[in-house]
Amino acid sequence: MDELLDRQRGVIAKTQALQFMSRKAIQHRVATGRWQQQHSVLVTHSGPIDMAQRHWIAVLSAGAGAALGGITAAQQSGLRGYNSAITHVLIPAGRRSGPLPAGVVVHRTSVWDERDILSAALPPRTKAARSVVDAAQWARSDDDAQGLIAASFQQRIVAARDIQDVLRRLAPAAGD
């Protein structure tokens, strides 16, 4: 369990914790204040929760196969100048998410392509080009979308060929 907790920054889904300890042991840690519970996710300390832990809480709350997406993932890829209080998570269209903490938005996609996912990232997230395309689609206005796209090119977060590749894969879903 220590290796998993190290990898997930001290955040663990209840289902993961139950592989290592009893329900009663988990309840005891939460009841005594040693651990915090965030819906179906546990934080294995009693202190403040940092941004990396919030991201893990979001991904684990959304369920198996979830990945940070949109502006949240773009920031993890190095995009600067865009702050969001919302954590965006992407899941395949057929999956259901669990109860979500405040500040987490789940987006479903009918185009889930492993080429778009950085599964080795901790937590998993979409690659920069997919993140930028999704963030532009989810933007509040065309101006916000254009600014985001321009910034991602100016900051060399994405290349035109990568954006074009993502758009080609997403195009069939536009008619869904």
Confidence of residue 98 (pLDDT cuts 50, 70, 90): confident
Rounded average pLDDT over 83-88 = 89
The answer to whether residues 15 and 74 belong to one domain is no
Residue 9 and residue 94 in one domain:
no
Q: State the pLDDT at residue 107.
A: 95
Residues 73 and 140 in one domain: yes
pLDDT recorded at residue 84: 82
Q: What is the pLDDT of residues 6-20, one digit of tens each?
A: 999 999 999 999 999
Same structural domain for residues 161 and 115? yes
Query: In terms of domains, do 95 and 170 share one?
Result: yes
DSSP run (H or E) holding 144: helix 142-154
CA distance 176 to 169: 13
Q: Are strands 87-92 and 104-109 parallel, antiparallel or unpaired?
A: parallel
Q: Tell me, what's the pLDDT at 174?
A: 55
CA distance 32 to 4: 22
Chain-centroid distance of CA 53 in Å reads 11
Q: What are phi and psi of 138, to 5 degrees?
A: -90, 0
State which residues form the domain around 36. Answer: 2-43
Average pLDDT over residues 126-150: 96
With 80 as the cut, is the pLDDT of residue 175 above it?
no
What the block records as the tokens of 42 is: 């546990």
Tell me: do 128 and 164 sit in the same domain: yes
**Count of domains for the chain:** 2
| Claim: this prediction has a pTM higher than 0.95 | no
Comparing CA positions, the residue from 23, 13, 8, 130 lying closest to residue 73 is 130
Query: What average pLDDT score do residues 89-93 get?
Result: 94
Q: Which of 39, 38, 41, 35 lies closest to 16, judged by CA? A: 41
Residues 21 and 107 in one domain: no
Mean pLDDT, the chain, integer: 93
DSSP 3-state of 160: helix
List, in sequence order, every residue forming a beta bridge with 107; answer none if it has no partner: 90
Is 82 in the same domain as 119? yes
Q: Residue 157: phi, psi to the nearest 5?
A: -80, -35
Q: pLDDT, tens digit, for every residue of 65-77?
A: 899 999 999 999 9
The helix or strand, by DSSP H or E, that contains position 121, with its residue range, turns out to be none
The per-residue pLDDT for 173 is 59
Q: Using CA atoms, how far apart are residues 100 and 74, in angstroms rounded to an integer?
A: 21
35-62 pLDDT, tens digit per residue, is 999 888 999 999 999 999 999 999 999 9
